[in-house]
A = this chain, B = another copy of it.
Amino acid sequence: LDYQHVQVPFEITLWIMLASLAKIGFHLYNKLPSVVPESCLLIFVGLIMGGIIYGLNDKSPPVMDSDIFFLYLLPPIVLDAGYFMPSRPFFENMGTILLYAVVGTIWNVFGIGFSLYGICQVKAFHLQDVSLLHNLLFGSLIAAVDPVAVLAVFEEIHVNEKLHILVFGESLLNDAVTVVLYKLFRSFCEMPTIKSMDVFAGVGKFFVVGLGGVLVGLTFGMTAAFTTRFTKEIRVIEPLFVFLYSYLSYLTAEMFHLSGIVAIIVCAMGMKRYVEANISLKSHTTVKYFMKMWSSVSDTLIFIFLGVSTIGENHEWNWPYICFTVIFCLIWRALGVLVLTFFVNRFHVNTITSKDQFIIAYGGLRGAICFSLVFLLPDFHRKKLFIAATTVVILFTVFVQGMTIRPLVDLLAVKRKRESAPTVGEQIHIRFLDHLLAGIEDISGHWGQYYWKDKLEYFNSKYLQKILLREYDQPKSSIVLLYEKLERKHAIELAEAGQLGHAPSHPSLVRSGFLCSNNDRSVITDKKLEVTLNPDVLENIQEILARNLYRIRRTGPAYNRHTLPGETEPTEHAKEILILRHQSL
């Protein structure tokens, strides 16, 4: 037995396997997932596992490594979120999201920090040694809403799209603020004196970290799109580039102390439309599927590790401090949302209702990012207190808020996500209005959202598409693309139901069990079989065979590492059909 040799990959594989099996287990009982969010169950599994490890080894189970979290577990989730981000609602509410993410987070950090400092002054709690700076540092890590936790809960409660994007967008974009404030306070803690220069430098850093992330993301996204122009000959490695470039954007941003989350989101959103147009349909399915799979596994692992890391002796249970942390987190977030929304509503026609405000405030879940940040703190004598407080806040938000938010949404009758897609009429109206508003803004000299969107679209179709797309003929409008997609889907369904137009397939009709219960129909089919002997029809069949014979030629069963069996160029097929049809006319 040589366990040492294979230990690292073996244990990683086993952890992933455990996570996947846990996921399967929950979904075996249909009722469980509808009552308890998956994140709670996974933390619970983690707690049990941690307890077992603790019981067996009699020492604290291993804590989730912050490096592993930030370098390997977080990027897939953020990439998935960025790639599948509904871009229209995101950009429409950009201003509000940024306000919540930047001003709201700063508000929370200072609110929580100062009020906890106040609590520390109460002599009965024995907390006088926690300085203001330490409290602010703690505030900076506990204030940030966590995208992983928010996603895990919000995707199950199906609130309306605007509300969803407000909370989710905030949780993604506050990363830049959190990074800056956390690093600022941490360096202040280690400095002997703080000059006013340092504070100003900190403010300047905001813009560097955020905009730097955007720049890094854009660069890598455009490079990725450009690279996929040249992958026509080797379809199999196309999906790789999507992952490689977005991961590189994250790592590069982290390397330069910029916001990695912002970088990877910008990269994913930027490359999506060009990559989609360049790569093959199968590659795109793989990209989408693998992204979902990866983020799903990462997310499962994070919650399980969160549970495992909770068990142990890393905590200092000073209950007053912990309880006040939970309370202040709730209060300051609620206040912040109220105040900010007041200003937002004054400038918008579509106001945020008070119900929505409640859900925004209540949906401010904390998660693994806080947890990793608190373990990254430099060692000082109250670190264990901060760890305990963070753990309790996370468990409270995920368990109590996460489990009650669904009943609350039901109770308040918060506006839900519309189930049906917009009709074609609505879509045409939306597009028409966009153009109209862009025109009005242009005439009135107001450079608003629609004006910029129009300009961007122009720039895109004039320059970007020519550089980044492989087959740039004319821009296909989205409605044509939709039509093609529906047509293809329809065809597959018809084939599966066994009723393709040209060659009615008798066996498939019989197999479907439909004919057996319907006598009239079977008579028709019998008649059809008789008719088949008719010379006209025979000729017709021969023609169909001649037209489709190319299919037979292609199905070679050979093994090849670079191609998938039966994979051929769809355009070539279509061309061949057209040529054959031309000849047969």
Contact = CB atoms under 8 A, between A and B. Distances in A.
A240 B505 contact: no
A239 B155 contact: no
A86 B557 contact: yes
B420 A553 contact: yes
A148 B382 CA distance: 56
Contacts of A505: 483, 487
B578 A489 contact: no
B237 A490 contact: no
Contacts of A419: 553, 556
Nearest to A260: B6
A13 B236 contact: no
Dominant secondary structure of chain A at its interface with chain B: helix
Bin the interface of chain A by size: 35 or more
A227 B22 CA distance: 12
Interface stretch (A96-104, A286-294, A528-536): A286-294
Interface stretch (A45-53, A350-358, A441-449, A494-502): A494-502
A72 interface: yes
Interface string A543-585: 0000010011111111111111110001001100110011001
A251 B84 contact: no
A13 to B, nearest CB: 6
Given A296-B562, A577-B493, A585-B521, A500 B483 contact: no
Interface stretch (A128-136, A184-192, A512-520): A512-520
A508 interface: yes
Number of this chain's copies in the complex = 2
A24 B235 CA distance: 10
A239 B293 contact: yes
A274 interface: no
A390 B77 CA distance: 44
A287 to B, nearest CB: 9
Interface stretch (A241-249, A317-325, A397-405): A241-249
Contacts of A247: 9, 13
A490 B551 contact: yes
A85 interface: yes
A495 B500 contact: no
A20 interface: yes
A495 B501 contact: no
A396 interface: no
Contacts of A17: 244, 248
A23 interface: yes
Contact of A570 (B295, B496, B554): B496
A488 interface: yes
Nearest to A17: B244
A487 B282 CA distance: 18
Contacts of A559: 81, 84-86, 155, 164, 168
27 contacts: A1-B255, A5-B255, A6-B254, A10-B252, A10-B255, A13-B247, A20-B244, A21-B227, A80-B561, A236-B292, A282-B285, A282-B289, A289-B564, A417-B558, A421-B552, A421-B553, A487-B498, A487-B508, A491-B500, A492-B492, A492-B570, A494-B500, A496-B577, A497-B574, A500-B501, A514-B578, A520-B585
